[in-house]
Structure formats: structure tokens, C-alpha cells
Structure 1
Amino acid sequence: MKKFTALSFVSVLLALPPWLFPVTAAEQVQIAVNQPGPVINKDIFGQFVEHIGEGVYGGLWVGKDSDIPNTNGLRNDVISALKQLHVPVVRWPGGCFADQYHWREGIGPQTTRVSRSNAWGNVIEPNQFGSDEFMELAEQIGSEAYLTVNVGSGTVKEAADWLEYLTSYNATSLASLRAENGHPEPYRVKYIGFGNEAWGCGGAMSASEYFAKLKPFSVFALNHNPEQRFSGIDLLFDHGASNPDAMVRVAAGPNDGDTAFTESLMKSWASAPGYLPIFDAMSLHHYTMSRGPMSDSSVNFGQAEYVRFVSMAMEMEDVLNQHIDVMDKYDPEKRVSLVVDEWGNWLKPDISENPMFLKQQNSLRDAITAGLTLNTFMRHADRVKMANIAQMVNVIQSMILTKDDAMVLTPTYHLYKMYVPFQDSTLLPLAFRPETITVNGETLPQFDAVTARSKTGQLWMALINIDPVNAVDIEPLAENGYVTKASGSVLTATEVNTVNDFDKPDAVLAKPVAFKRDQNGRMIITLPPKSITVVMLEN
């Protein structure tokens, strides 16, 4: 059993000079407003779409002839909801699906597309949703594209052709084919992932085997959009070429705590010619689950299971530190980003007709663990530059559940909406010493906090009361004076396993809150039990 003490928990925060904490009924949180930290890359709040169950078909794509209101085949209600999250980036087509996906089978007239067997549920993959449809999705919700190329069963040429089809400005045959398919202008591709889970479903390779296979993909799979060039073979001819908007190349990295994989991959990266880096980022996958995927109920649980999942979610801190320590050894300048492009609570598919469709319910517990995980990513913003929760619609810890023409927004959706102000904000160091709680043998800090200054100058604080029973009072204090006002929203519910379903879609809903100084001149923010509160602070 892992023990979390108040001292050990605060130690994971950014280091600050020692400050005095007077005895007080409220928990004080000191904000170092004049000591800005790293920028929190908005892509930390990214999403993930894979061809599993209703993750694409029915959830996002219904086709242009559907009775469900849609725009170019994408259902309007889901698109409207996703727009409110300001989704910065979407990863597609996988996942394990990516290493069996062949892009040419999903372009052109719908009637000529190739149907395949999809191992996720043993169903037919009709390829009605392909490259152009995905880019249409990204355009409709205002998101950047993160494509995973097929390294496991594909070829370097296939990957290179895919990027030429998508990004070429020149009138090549592939660019002309894209124009014939309705998009004469080249697309933007911000990230390219070279395979998925090379250690497992992506080919069962060792790190050294994967790196050897990765190198030609890195050199020849080029982004031809002039705005996003300067990578791969470009650097052979211009060693000084650089472009801050260049496509980011993501290597398929380790799973969970496999630091040996990271060690091998980063050592190989560091040994490559300095003018020809093989990748710009490394992925990491880490799901929260007790005994393996689909082993924990998404609806039938109580406080003990809630606290256990909170404890497991907080283990992300240790997982990140282990891999970052290895990365720092070979890359002290932090040139390689860490990308957590699969994470979340992987539970029993309690609402899935086909268990391999991975359709699970989503409770207040899921929102709280997601908030704690996002806070952890933000505290590591100097190395973690993107994260993609699994998955956006109808699969694992989703934002949205659909059933025919109906739609439900999950508690995790509401959390992501509350966290929008943190996108591209600047992290501010905190100092606090939370009390601990012990439930069913698990000892945890009573609350968690993160603070940042938004791009427009506002000071935002996210506070998570982990305690399932007791409220906690928080007194935020800033170096430049007392906080006088706080306003924002709170997300909580009657029980830790409360969900939004099609009969009660608003059982877990963010509600507005506002606080001001009390009669003693103190600004106290009261956090309800098992809750997430996000407020803008004024002084």
C-alpha cells in the first residue's frame, strides 16, 4: 500500500523559499505570483479518437444522409459540445488500430472504400471515416491534428505518401488526388506519431528494435507544408534549419514504469548525429486500473474504491518522475518532450453491448482523478507538452456518451470545460501543507491545488477536495497582497459514483460559486467534500 504524507505530497510541487504558516482553521495556500514557472502547453488538454466501438461511428460520424443532424457527416450536437472544450489537439487513428490502418483504404468516394475486419469487437471497419473526414473533424472543432502512422504493419513509403497527400502544396499526383477528394488546400499536421505501443500491439519490439525501424520513417515521412517543414531529411542539407512551428515527431515510448525502454530509446536518440535528431518527443502510456483493463466497475463502487482510485491516479507523479529522470540524463536541455498520449481510468464496459467496444460509465470519481492527473501534468509543464485522455467519445474515460440521437456530457467533460483557462497559461509555484485523510487503509492529502496566470493576465486556481466526507476551507495568499475575491465553478455530487445518464443527464454539473472577504478580512474558499473548484482570483 502506498502512503502519501502531507510533506511528501508538497515536495512534488515547485521548490519555494521556506514560508511561515500561522496556526489557522483554514488551510493556507501561498502563491508565488512573482516567480512564474513554465508555460502550460495547451496540448496537455488534448483528446484521442480511435476506431473502437462507437468511438467514431455513431459517436462522431453518422454520415451525410443520417437523420441525426450533421454537418458533412459529423453530428452537430457532439461537435457543438466539443467546441466548448477548446480541444487543442486530437490523436487519430489509434492506438492499436493505427498499426493495422492503411490510409489509402479510407479516401475517395464512400462507395469505393475498402472494408476490413476490426479486432476491437470483431466487427467490420467500413473506412467511411478516413483522412479527409478526420481533418474535417479537426477543422470543425478548431483543433490541431496528431496522426499516428502505421509502423507495425506499414511501410516507410506508405507513411511518406500519407503526409504528401495531406500536406503538399506542390501539384503532385497525391496532392491532386487530395484536391479531387474535395480539399485543394494542404492540411496542417502538428504532430506525427511513429507507431503505437511498439513494445506490445505495435509489433512486440524491444526499444533497440523499434529505434532501428523508426529511423527511416523519421527521415522520409516529411511534412510538405512550408509552414511546418524542417525535420528529417531537410536537416541533412541545412544543419541549422529550424522552425518553431515544425511538425513534432513522436516516438512510441514506454508503458507505465518501464524505464529500461526509456533508457534505451533516449540513449539511441542521444547517439544520433546532432544535426539529425530522430524524434522530438517520446510517448508514455499509463492507465489507472486495479487488476488490469476492464476489471473495476464504473458504477458499482463506494468510498473505499473511490479512495483507492484516487491513490492510483496520484501514482502518475512517480511514473513521470521515473521517466523524466532518465530523459534528463540524456537530454538535460529538455529538447525531447514527454507526451502522455494515452491515460485515464480504464474500467468495466458496464454500458457496452459488446464488451470490446469499451463503453463505460463516467462518474464524479473519474472527474476527480482526471483533475488530479491534469494538475500533475501541469506541475511538470517543463517536460510534459501534450497529453491525450482515452478517449473523446463513447470509449473508456470519455467526454461524451451517445445513444442514437441523444447525447450526455460526462463529469469528465465538465472538468475539462472548467480547466480551459489553464491552456497556455503560466504555472505559478505554490506552497501548502494539506492535512491527510485515511480511508480503508489509504492515506492521502486532503486536497490538491494548482495555480496559473492565463494568457490574458487573470490568476486562476484549481482546488480538488479529495476527502469524500468533509469540507475544507482554503485561504489563498499572494505575495503581492491579499486575495479579495474569487469566482468560478464547482463540480460535485451526492455520491462519489454519481453519473450522468440519459435519464438524468445533469446529476453531475458544474455550478457557479463566488467568495469574498469575511468580517475578519480573510478570503476563505470552502471546498465541498469530493469536489473540484476552479476560480479566478482577484486582489
Structure 2
Amino acid sequence: MRRSCLVLVALIVLCNCLKAQSVQLTVNTAGNQKINKEIYGHFAEHLGRCIYDGFWVDEKMNVPKQGRIRMDVVNALKKIKLPLLRWPGGCFADQYHWSDGIGPVEKRPKTVNSNWGMVSEDNSFGTHEFLQLCDLIGCEPYIAGNMGSGTPQEMSNWIEYLNFNGQSALADLRRKNGHDKPYNVAYWGVGNESWGCGGDMTPEYYTDNYKQYAAFCKNYPGAPLKKVASGANSEDYNWTEVCMKNIHPWQMWGISMHYYTVVGNWEKKGSATEFNEEGYFKGMKNCLHIEDLINKHSAIMDKYDPQKKVALAVDEWGIWTDAEPGTNPAFLYQQNSLRDALVAASSLNIFNNHCDRVKMANLAQTVNVLQALILTDKEKMLLTPTYHVFDLYKVHQDATLLPLNFTSPDYTFGSEKIPAINASASKDASGAIHITLVNIDPTKKITVNTSFGGANLNSSEAQIVTSGKFTDINTFDQPNKVKAASFSDFKKNGNQLSVNMPPMSVVLVTLK
């Protein structure tokens, strides 16, 4: 009898565990919000080996090149339909004087990159080179203007140089430097991190400066500007309050917010590759915190802009760890693990679900810096786990958001817990439905049972990004350890879909 009771108790516990590992998810197929493709933007700063040795290489390097632009990097970014690239910074933007980077390369002055390692900047990669890079990728440029050490006149001149199609000294100089037609650059950041490296300003001082700069940022014929105010650092809600109160919505296209996932503290952020489950859990918990920030900053914006005309631009985000041992710590070179892929996928799901306010986001940074998509070593190049997430998620660009309703089981570590499942869904112009699912639990398979209402869905296919350990990375010796693969552990029955999510996995299901 005692043995039978023990068996019964064991069965009850097992049943409860199985029940806890199942999610009921409903997709509303009548969405009306667009997921701006600019949410899938990226960031390239003059920092470490992002520009130099990343995009811009020695002319003698034996790789396919357009001038000195590395084409295998370009082609990888074209594949994921990179929509927007932010440049030249970052902190570098507020010490950058654009006139140093135009004209004959041999006549450009050498300057000091005082933010990132006190290294020499030869200015061989400047405005024309950046815009050529954007043209090769097929993406929109997003230029961060210099408010910290520049002047309104300097930024005004840069815009005229790039966007004016008539006769003027600056437009003629652009033509002399090889580009007859205007570039018509729309996205302009008015300062960067003005609360910190961009000038240590108070929000009141910044908003007065913003209005002065913005007044001289002119809309030339055929080139209306989308001006982005330098917004808050993480939980600085007062900064958003003051900016929204003092700057009229019609004076800006968007306001930025910066947030980095840090596992430890700013002095010792934690290793990119050597961490245990505690480091994994903290990384995922801190990643998910970005939704709290978006909710609170959006609520402040709603007070002054209830029609949501001003975009929240999360134009710096991603996981920031300690630099790899043996590398220059000022160059911020870090490896990229499966944990980082889950951080990227979860963040993108959050951005998608808040696309009524979040209209732009820029992962930091594209090549060889922070949560990079691509790492290079001389002629070698590899795609990181994060790259493969962006490759899956490109289906959401400019698609219609489909709202979801579900309650996630918890991933528990010690006395703390976070949602194990996150997701977003969209419908593209062809009518195909795409749902991206993330299971961050490192040990449990979770079944997601999904209902699509009255949608008429005939075919389905799926892809997955996962690996055996959350510390798994791609290396130049083993570049394909973590990558996207075909996935078949799901069933479709009419308008019902059941997906068996492995631990630590990102799954894209497409239904037509």
C-alpha cells in the first residue's frame, strides 16, 4: 500500500510538471500596427575594430572589396535585410567633425579617438565612405550629429552638404568630392548620450540646446528630416519627462533610449563565454527588464503625445560583457554565445510587441564590438549566434503585428523567477503569418499550443536556433556550431499549432 501511494504521488508530481511545461497561446489575426523595419537597425561606431578592420580594411587584404569596403561583410548584412545603420557614434559622434572626413584621403587630418583607447583616427572612413557602405548594403543611413563639441552651424552645414540639390558652396563641394546628386539623408540624431559622454548636460540644458540645433537642421526640397532627440539612459525617467515637456512633438521624429544588458556591474560586467547558470539567469532577467523601461518611458510620452507621433528609438541596446582576455579593453571586443542569441530574440520580440511606440532600434554593434553580428580576423569572417536570430526575424520587417495572449510558465533559479517563454507574431504583405518563439529555460522542453482564430492556413515550416550549452559560441575554427537549422518538432491541425520548444531555443514558424 505504501509503495502504491508513493507511485501515485510520483505520478501526480509528474503530471503537474508536464502541465507546467505547456502554454496556451492565442494569436489575434486582425492586427493593425506595423512593425517598422527600422526596429532591426544596427550601429557602427569608430570604436575598436568595428569600422577599421571590420567594414573598412587594408586595400591589400585578400578579400572581395569595393574600394576598401569588405564585401563579404556587406553581403552578410544584405542577407538579413539590414534596414538602417547608425554612425559615427556613440560617444565618438560628439568629438567628430565631419569636414575632417571628406575630400582627398591623403589630405584628411589625423585626430585622436579620445573616447576609445586614445588611438589615432586617420579619417579615411568618412561621410562619403559611410554612405557608400549604406548604398552597398541597401540600408538607410542614420547620422548622429555632434552637439557636444560642435556647433549648430557645423551640423547645419553637414545637412546642407548632403541634402541640398541647388547651387551653394557646400553642395558644390559635395559635387567636387564625387557625388553630384544629394544623398537626402533623413535620420539625424541631435547629440548622443548628452547626459553623459555627449556633454554631461542636465535635461533642461539639453532641451534648450536641442531646440536651437533643430531650428537650424533644415528640410531641403525632397529631403525632409527625421530628427531624433538624445533620450534617457535606462531608468532616467526624469530625462524623458523634461524632453517631452519642453520639446514639441512636431520638433522631433523620435527620442532615444539606451539600455545595455550587464550581468555584473559596470566595473566588472562578466565574461562573454565563461559563466554558470547564475550568470545565464541574470543575463536573461536583465534583458527582459527592457520591457519595464519601454512601458514606463512610453507612459511618460503618452502624457504629452497621446497620438504616439513621436517614436521611441532604442538606438543602443544589447548585452555588454567584459572584453575578451588578451584584447585591448577599450576596443570592447567580446565573443557571442547562445545566451546572446536568446537576449537578441527576446529583445526583438519585446520591440515588436511595442511597435505602436518603438519605431527604431539599433543593436550595438555590427562588427567586432559588443554584441556583434559578425566577427573578423584578417581574411576570416564568422557569423555569430545573434546574426542567425536576425536572419530568422527579418520576416517581421514592415509586417503587421498580430497581438498575442498567453501566460508563460516560470523559469526559476534560486528564489527568483522570470517568464520562460516570450513571443511575437506578424502577418506579411503576402498574408503569411510568422510567429517567433523563445524558450529561455535551460533544462525544460515547453510545448506551446497556439490557436490562430479564423485564419485559413494550409502549409507550415519552421527553423530553430539552439545549441547544447548556453556558453556555446562560433569560433574561426568552428564557425557553425550555433546556427539556424530546419525544425520539425511541431504539429499543425487546422488552425491549431503545437510547437515543442527545446530548452534555450528560438523557433520561427511560418504559416501560409
Pick the TM interval, shorter chain. Answer: over 0.9
1:126 equivalent in structure 2: 122
Q: 1:388 to 1:24 in 2, by over 3 A?
A: closer
Is 1:287 the counterpart of 2:260? The answer is yes
Q: 1:174 aligns with which of 170, 183, 189?
A: 170
Q: Deviations over 1:387-420 (max 9, x none)?
A: 0010000110010001111101000000001000
Q: 1:107 aligns with which of 95, 99, 102?
A: 102
Q: 1:262 aligns with which of 219, 229, 240?
A: 240
AA of the residue aligned to 1:69: P
Q: CA deviation at 1:195?
A: 0.6
Map 1:119-158 to 2 at 5 A. 119=114, 120-158=116-154
- 2-structure distance, mates of 1:314, 1:534: 20
Is 1:404 the counterpart of 2:378? The answer is yes
Q: Deviations over 1:141-163 (max 9, x none)?
A: 00001001100100111101111
- 2-structure distance, mates of 1:297, 1:260: 32
AA of the residue aligned to 1:533: V
Is 1:42 the counterpart of 2:15? The answer is no
Q: Is the 8 A contact 2:460 2:492 kept in 1?
A: no
Is 1:89 the counterpart of 2:87? The answer is no
Q: CA deviation at 1:175?
A: 1.4
Residue identity (%):
40
1:218 equivalent in structure 2: 214
Q: 1:50 to 1:520 in 2, by over 3 A?
A: closer
Q: 1:504 to 1:87 in 2, by over 3 A?
A: same
- 1-structure distance, mates of 2:442, 2:371: 21
Q: Is the 8 A contact 2:33 2:356 kept in 1?
A: yes
1:188 equivalent in structure 2: 184
2:407 equivalent in structure 1: 433
Q: Is the 8 A contact 1:46 1:389 kept in 2?
A: yes
Is 1:460 the counterpart of 2:434? The answer is yes
AA of the residue aligned to 1:81: A
AA of the residue aligned to 1:387: A
Q: Deviations over 1:84-138 (max 9, x none)?
A: 1111111000100000000000111110011111120121011010000000010
Q: CA deviation at 1:473?
A: 1.5
AA of the residue aligned to 2:117: G
2:197 equivalent in structure 1: 201
Q: 1:466 to 1:83 in 2, by over 3 A?
A: same
1:303 equivalent in structure 2: 277
Q: Aligned with 1:377: secondary structure?
A: helix
Is 1:55 the counterpart of 2:55? The answer is no
Is 1:395 the counterpart of 2:358? The answer is no
Q: Is the 8 A contact 1:486 1:516 kept in 2?
A: no
AA of the residue aligned to 1:313: C
Q: Deviations over 1:459-488 (max 9, x none)?
A: 000000111011111222111158664312
Q: Is the 8 A contact 1:471 1:526 kept in 2?
A: yes
Q: Aligned with 1:201: secondary structure?
A: coil
Q: Is the 8 A contact 1:485 1:515 kept in 2?
A: no
Q: CA deviation at 1:437?
A: 2.3
- 2-structure distance, mates of 1:473, 1:305: 26
Q: Aligned with 2:269: secondary structure?
A: coil
AA of the residue aligned to 2:260: Y
Q: Is the 8 A contact 2:457 2:494 kept in 1?
A: no
1:13 equivalent in structure 2: none
Q: Aligned with 1:501: secondary structure?
A: coil
Q: Is the 8 A contact 2:254 2:312 kept in 1?
A: yes
1:3 equivalent in structure 2: none
Q: Indicate the RMSD between aligned Cα atoms, in angstroms.
A: 1.9
2:11 equivalent in structure 1: none
- 1-structure distance, mates of 2:307, 2:234: 24
Q: CA deviation at 1:63?
A: 4.5
Q: 1:359 aligns with which of 330, 333, 343?
A: 333
Q: 1:453 to 1:351 in 2, by over 3 A?
A: farther
Q: 1:443 aligns with which of 417, 429, 445?
A: 417
Q: Is the 8 A contact 2:452 2:496 kept in 1?
A: no
- 1-structure distance, mates of 2:394, 2:403: 19
Q: CA deviation at 1:37?
A: 3.5
2:501 equivalent in structure 1: 527
1:67 equivalent in structure 2: 62
Q: Is the 8 A contact 1:351 1:359 kept in 2?
A: no
TM-score (norm 2): 0.93
Q: Deviations over 1:414-435 (max 9, x none)?
A: 0001000000011111111222
Q: Deviations over 1:4-58 (max 9, x none)?
A: xxxxxxxxxxxxxxxxxxx898422111113x14100000000000000101000
Q: Is the 8 A contact 2:21 2:409 kept in 1?
A: no
- 1-structure distance, mates of 2:150, 2:375: 32
Q: Is the 8 A contact 1:85 1:416 kept in 2?
A: yes
Q: CA deviation at 1:223?
A: 4.0
AA of the residue aligned to 2:57: V
Q: Is the 8 A contact 2:425 2:434 kept in 1?
A: yes
Q: 1:107 to 1:336 in 2, by over 3 A?
A: same
Unaligned runs of 5+ in 2: 1-18
Q: Aligned with 1:199: secondary structure?
A: coil
Unaligned runs of 5+ in 1: 1-22, 230-246
Q: CA deviation at 1:64?
A: 4.1
Q: 1:252 to 1:523 in 2, by over 3 A?
A: closer
1:537 equivalent in structure 2: 511
Map 1:360-375 to 2 at 5 A. 360-375=334-349
Is 1:490 the counterpart of 2:468? The answer is no
Q: 1:439 to 1:492 in 2, by over 3 A?
A: same
- 2-structure distance, mates of 1:180, 1:406: 36
TM-score (norm 1): 0.88
Q: 1:208 to 1:33 in 2, by over 3 A?
A: same
Q: 1:113 to 1:478 in 2, by over 3 A?
A: same
Number of equivalences: 492
- 2-structure distance, mates of 1:266, 1:25: 43
Q: CA deviation at 1:516?
A: 6.1
Q: Aligned with 1:524: secondary structure?
A: strand
Q: 1:302 to 1:485 in 2, by over 3 A?
A: farther
- 1-structure distance, mates of 2:88, 2:57: 17
1:20 equivalent in structure 2: none
Q: Aligned with 1:228: secondary structure?
A: coil
1:7 equivalent in structure 2: none
Q: Is the 8 A contact 1:294 1:349 kept in 2?
A: no
* Greater Cα offset, 338-347 or 185-194: 185-194
Q: Is the 8 A contact 1:492 1:508 kept in 2?
A: yes
Q: Is the 8 A contact 1:477 1:483 kept in 2?
A: no
- 1-structure distance, mates of 2:365, 2:420: 28
